Structure 1
Amino acid sequence: MRILHTMLRVGDMERSIAFYTEVLGMQLLRRHEYPDGKFTLAFIGYGSEQDTAVIELTYNWGTETYDKGNAYGHIAIEVDDAYAACEQVKKAGGKVVREAGPMMHGTTVIAFVEDPDGYKVEFIQKGTWGV
């Protein structure tokens, strides 16, 4: 068994694809419209679906926002330098909601950014996690 993808419901497919590809550097792997079901799926990631877990973006036509509740946490991405990654996100027009730095009560260097729908994405600096 292996993890294939994590699904996020989004309010604007184009805006979300732009964030994940242009701001976070992922690739659009595939996209398909389902007119009978009135939804669109797009799969994005850093590698092929055959080799890595990816994110499935789901747009239900006509639904622009969702109540996220309090159960969802975040998606984590390993980065070489969390400080530099935050600066790149800002330059690309993205929103940093927690600047890079050591996590509370630990030494792992983390940061958080927010996608256009308010989902949190954590950057974890390579070589600092697990300590």
Structure 2
Amino acid sequence: MEKFKMAHTMIRVLNLEKSLAFYKEALGFEEVRRNDQPAGRFTLVYLNTGDPDGHQLEITYNYDQVVPYDLGTGYGHLALGVDDLEASHADHKAKGYNPTDLKGLGGDSKPRFYFMSDPDGYKIEIIRN
């Protein structure tokens, strides 16, 4: 069997500039390429966290969408690892991103993760590396 590599994950957003600001400012993503398709009435923006060979987040902006997307019940979350979970949590809290409290798993007393949401309501889990 062919060896597969993760390429990207796509989400649809209502406000492109607001979403780009969130992913860049809150999570350190960088725009790596953009594909504007005026005839098709959409724009694709690819982001990653600075690793040129890393998994990308594709943000799709459809020009004619005027109501928020229904995220449904099947979507879970995006997960990003960070070395200093407590500092990241404090920074996100100070910047008004409304992260959940730090949490552990089961009987684990050491915090391992927290969640927050992007402007469209997509859940993002920040986990300790």
Instruction: Report the TM-score, using the length of structure 1 for normalisation.
Output: 0.86
Letter of the structure 2 residue corresponding to residue 56 of structure 1: E
Shift in Å, 1:108? 6.5
Matched, 1:59 2:61: yes
Per-residue CA shift, 1:8-30, capped at 9, x if unaligned? 00000000000000111111111
The secondary structure found in structure 2 opposite 1:71 is: coil
Equivalent runs, 1:18-97 vs 2, <5 Å: 18-49=21-52, 51-64=53-66, 65-96=68-99
Give the conservation status (yes or no) of the 8 Å contact 2:102–2:111: no
Letter of the structure 1 residue corresponding to residue 122 of structure 2: Y
Larger radius of gyration: 2
CA distance in 1, matches of 2:79, 2:26: 15
Runs of 4+ in 1 over 6 A off after TM superposition: none
Per-residue CA shift, 1:30-78, capped at 9, x if unaligned? 12210111001111111355x1101000011121410011000001101
Give the conservation status (yes or no) of the 8 Å contact 2:85–2:126: yes
Give the conservation status (yes or no) of the 8 Å contact 1:101–1:109: yes
Letter of the structure 2 residue corresponding to residue 82 of structure 1: L
Instruction: Give the number of aligned pairs.
Output: 124
Matched, 1:9 2:12: yes
The secondary structure found in structure 2 opposite 1:94 is: coil
The secondary structure found in structure 1 opposite 2:34 is: strand
The secondary structure found in structure 2 opposite 1:102 is: coil
**Unaligned regions of 5+ residues in structure 1, if any?**
127-131
CA distance in 1, matches of 2:20, 2:57: 11
Give the conservation status (yes or no) of the 8 Å contact 1:19–1:94: no
Instruction: Report the TM-score, using the length of structure 2 for normalisation.
Output: 0.87
CA distance in 1, matches of 2:12, 2:107: 33
Instruction: Please report the RMSD computed on the Cα atoms of aligned residues, expressed in angstroms.
Output: 1.6
Per-residue CA shift, 1:69-96, capped at 9, x if unaligned? 1000001101112222121112333231
Greater percentage in strand: 1
